[in-house]
Amino acid sequence: MTRVAVVRFPGSNCETETLTAIERAGGEGLLLDYRETTLQGADAVILPGGFSYGDYLRSGAIARFSPVMQAVRAHAEAGGAVIGICNGFQVLCEAHLLPGALLRNAGQRFLSRPVDVRIERRDTVCTADYAEGDVLRIPVAHGEGRFAADEATLAMLEGEGRVVMRYVSVPGTDVAHNPNGSANDIAGICNAAGTVVGFMPHPERLAEASLGSAAGHRVFTSLISRLTRTGVAA
């Protein structure tokens, strides 16, 4: 069975929902303490949402120095699957495993509401069970979710097809489609191989129908299927 480690930093608050979503997708969830120095045999890693280290300095700026991040980096550099959700995305950018930075929302307020995002790339470790162009209504909850990068980096991300999710406007809705002012409406990006992915929306919060929607469930089935298909899982 595919083992997916979910790292718990001081201040993480979405690890339980993430573990549940993994198990509902057919994987085995492993809660991994930030002080660990190995991944304990996990096939993939998820850095979950929350407020690691209280978001002091910048979101993710302290978590990137946690002991476990050396193992996460080694896993990523070896081609292993790593996903960062919300605060996890911030950590990946601070650790330079993904380019750019997540800054204070343009409105200078914490946001917690549904947004509409479009799947822009499906050949990643967590979007293969969607179709390119699928639009998901999924929640965000962040104060520092505004993706920013210099023009050269933005051009590289767009030119290489490394934008994974983008905020979009759906006809008939009356909310601003870009909740935080992210450059190019970017909600999530990946590395060139599609094996390291970070995004601000929370798929684990809508991963079963009893929650009102299972829009996020396929993020986790995509991961489990990818690892099983490629023979990574034990």
Predicted confidence at residue 175, as pLDDT, reads 64
Inform me whether the pLDDT recorded for 139 exceeds 80.
Answer: yes
Would the CA dihedral through 37, 123, 147, 109 be positive or negative? negative
Average pLDDT over residues 199-212: 94
Predicted confidence at residue 22, as pLDDT, reads 98
Inform me whether the pLDDT recorded for 234 exceeds 60.
Answer: no
Catalytic annotation, pick one of 15, 94, 120, 204: 204
Inform me whether the pLDDT recorded for 215 exceeds 60.
Answer: yes
Average pLDDT over residues 96-113: 95
Inform me whether the pLDDT recorded for 14 exceeds 60.
Answer: yes
Average pLDDT over residues 77-96: 98
Q: Is 86 known to be catalytic?
A: yes
Q: Work out the percent of the chain whose per-residue pLDDT is above 90.
A: 89
Predicted confidence at residue 57, as pLDDT, reads 85
Catalytic annotation, pick one of 14, 15, 17, 86: 86
Please classify residue 229 by burial: count the beta carbons closer than 10 Å to its beta carbon, then call 0-12 exposed, 13-18 middle and 19+ buried.
exposed
Q: Is 202 known to be catalytic?
A: yes
Q: Is 204 known to be catalytic?
A: yes
Q: In angstroms, rounded to a whole number, what is the distance separating the alpha carbons of residues 158 and 189?
A: 10
pLDDT-derived band at 229 (thresholds 50, 70, 90) equals confident
Inform me whether the pLDDT recorded for 174 exceeds 90.
Answer: no
Average pLDDT over residues 9-26: 97
Predicted confidence at residue 211, as pLDDT, reads 86
Predicted confidence at residue 233, as pLDDT, reads 57
Inform me whether the pLDDT recorded for 172 exceeds 90.
Answer: no
Superfamily of domain 3-229 in CATH is Class I glutamine amidotransferase (GATase) domain (3.40.50.880)
Catalytic annotation, pick one of 75, 142, 202, 217: 202
Predicted confidence at residue 127, as pLDDT, reads 98
